[in-house]
Every structure is written in C-alpha cells, then in structure tokens.
Amino acid sequence: MLLEADASQLVLVDYQIQLMPAMLDAQAVLANAVCLARLAQAMQVPVFVTEQSPSKLGATVHDLSAVLNKMPFQQLAKMQFSAVEEGLGDMLRPPPKPVQGNARSLPKHLQKSSSDAEHRSTILLAGCEAHVCLLQTALDLLEDEFEVWVVTDACSSRTERNRDAAFDRLAGAGVELVTTEMVAFEWLRSAEHPAFREVQALIK
C-alpha cells in the first residue's frame, strides 16, 4: 500500500517554542517538519497544526510557522494530549453537503453524501512528543477509522527510549511508519509528475 497525495492530510503536532529545545535531534526533526509542510504545499495536501497549551509552551517555532504562514493551514490549540479529544477528527472530515435534486426522495440509506468523494482518510502525523501527544492522537485517529501514517524522522521525544517505544507501540497498533523522503516519492509516484523538480529540490 502506497501513499496517495489526493487521499492525504498532514497533521503537525506541537512543534512549539518551549518544547523543541528539549527534543532529541531537534534540529533535524524540525527540518523534516518544514520539508513536510513544503511538500504538502507543492502537492496540494491539506495541513493542520496543533499547539499544546500554547500559553505555557508557546507558539509554533519560527522556522515552521514562517513556512506555514505562506500557505493555507488550520490550527488547533489544545489542552488534552490527544488532539482528537479537542476536535481534530471533525476538522479532518468534510462537512456533509445536502443531497441535491431528486435524490432527496430516496430513502436515507440509499442517499450518498456528496462529501464522500472529498474525504481524505489518510492522515500523516509528525510531531512531539512521540510517546505522548503524537501517540495518543494517532491511536484515537485509528479508533475513528482513519488510516494513520507516522513520519518517524519528523518526530521526537526527550529521550530515545520514549521515542522508540512510541514507534513500537504505533506499529503494533497498525500505524504505518515512514520517512519524509518516502512520503515525497510516494506522493509523486513518477519523475513525470508536474511537481517533481520542486519536490526534488526540497529533498536535496
């Protein structure tokens, strides 16, 4: 099973000013998060950003927010560790549209919502801390019947043991573990894709 750009949404979890300095390999992790945001922009993939208790942990770090502010994205401030508990799942689903025309006369179980074709059920997650907010969000999204993929090289915790324990648990729960480059080339699929040169430049 490969990633499909037109079925994907990207969720960037808690890359915040007061949190990132404590993260393992913070500079490389943040660079990959920035790359993911740019990839999503190039491939027209919707982007969502969460901030845990922003009054205490601060806003999203400048390197990432500078990129995000040049593109459409939705932001969610939260107190719960799982962003799903704060409404992320609803944000990721398009609102149902009214059934048009004569279809209204059909029984409800035969009516097909026009939002079905627009629903992007593949959620790519990256962020901090891997064993807390990212893990809980991922597991809740699985329960909500999303397909969840975690971009491992854009995730971190304060310790390697916590980060790796999160990846082990996520894999055991059925989450797909990928890297930033895997995302890029699966979204592209071909060197003939119109965005290939732009994406290639981001990876290099």
Each residue's pLDDT tens digit, 189-202: 999 999 999 999 99
Banded model confidence at residue 110, pLDDT cuts 50, 70, 90? low
Identify which has the larger pLDDT, 111 or 70: 70
Residue 119: what pLDDT? 81
Banded model confidence at residue 100, pLDDT cuts 50, 70, 90? low
Assess whether pLDDT exceeds 50 at residue 114: no
Mean pLDDT of 119-126: 95
C-alpha dist (Å) from residue 109 to 58, 101, 103, 106, 118? 47, 16, 11, 8, 19
- Could you tell me the domains of the chain? 5-93+118-203 (3.40.50.850)
For the chain, percent of residues with pLDDT exceeding 90? 85
**Separate counts of helices (H) and strands (E) for the chain:** 8, 6
Helix ranges (H only) for the chain are 26-42, 54-57, 62-68, 88-92, 135-143, 160-173, 180-188, 196-203
Assess whether pLDDT exceeds 80 at residue 173: yes
